[in-house]
Amino acid sequence: MDDLLAQLRAAFPQLTYTKGTQFCWSPENREVIYRQTASGVKSQWSLLHETGHALLEHNSYEADFELIRMELAAWNKAQEIAQSLHMEIDEEHIQDCLDTYRDWLYKRSICPSCNTKCLQQDDFVHYRCFNCHTNWRVSPSRFCRAYRSTKNVRQPAVFN
Ligand SMILES: [Zn+2]
Ligand SMILES: [Zn+2]
């Protein structure tokens, strides 16, 4: 892991790598955060994936369906970086991660009151059920807790 970090820092001096509690790319601070205690090949793949987001300058997304497209793009970029470092990311791992993402996006689009699948509102953090008119708010990150609903405050995007 330390070796890979050193290689990435040398290859992409424009990026900042910071220790944290989970892997993510924060466009607001322009930082790639990595899990301090991480080890093993899957962690290396995560680090490459977040680097992919950073290099593609993923800054924000308007709707959940865009997020999955960006996830895929970040993995493609990660695979490119991996090959340049004579590594390879297992395709099955990538598909698993994308499936997990799709599940997560699907679940949050389900009305908590009546279980109808709904469409996201224009502000991208709210859903409204067309069936029973329940409103709910979703978190901008898979790993962030849902925020208390502060209307009109746009949460900064975080990519995992
Ligand atoms: Zn409903
Ligand atoms: Zn991602």
- CATH for 124: 1.10.10
Has residue 148 been placed in a domain?
no
Has residue 149 been placed in a domain?
no
Q: Which domain holds residue 45?
A: 2-137
pLDDT at 149: 43
pLDDT at 154: 57
- Cα separation, 135 vs 156, in Å, equals 21
Task: Answer yes or no: are the C-beta atoms of 26 and 89 closer than 8 Å.
Answer: no
25 residue type, one letter: W
How close is the Cα of 7 to the center of ligand 2, in Å? 20
If one counts the domains in the chain, the total is: 1
Per-residue pLDDT of the chain (160 residues; tens, 9 = 90+): 899 999 999 999 999 999 999 999 998 889 999 998 988 999 999 999 999 999 999 988 777 778 889 999 999 999 999 999 999 999 999 999 999 989 988 998 999 999 999 988 877 778 999 999 999 988 766 655 444 444 445 567 788 8
Has residue 158 been placed in a domain?
no
How close is the Cα of 48 to the center of ligand 1, in Å? 39
Task: Give the number of whichever ligand sits closest to the CA of residue 58.
Answer: 2
Tally of CA atoms within 13 A in the half-sphere of 113 that contains its CB: 11
Task: Answer yes or no: are the C-beta atoms of 27 and 155 closer than 8 Å.
Answer: no
- Cα separation, 87 vs 77, in Å, equals 13
Task: Give the number of whichever ligand sits closest to the CA of residue 100.
Answer: 2
How close is the Cα of 126 to the center of ligand 1, in Å? 13
Has residue 94 been placed in a domain?
yes
- Beta carbons within 8 Å of 84's beta carbon, 6+ residues apart: 11
- Cα separation, 68 vs 39, in Å, equals 26
Task: Give the number of whichever ligand sits closest to the CA of residue 129.
Answer: 1
Has residue 69 been placed in a domain?
yes
Task: Give the number of whichever ligand sits closest to the CA of residue 143.
Answer: 2
Has residue 143 been placed in a domain?
no
How close is the Cα of 10 to the center of ligand 1, in Å? 51
Q: Tokens 């995007």 appear where?
A: 157
Tally of CA atoms within 13 A in the half-sphere of 40 that contains its CB: 5
What does the DSSP 8-state code read for residue 20? E
Has residue 154 been placed in a domain?
no
Task: Answer yes or no: are the C-beta atoms of 124 and 153 closer than 8 Å.
Answer: no
The pTM for the full model equals 0.86
What does the DSSP 8-state code read for residue 26? E
Has residue 160 been placed in a domain?
no
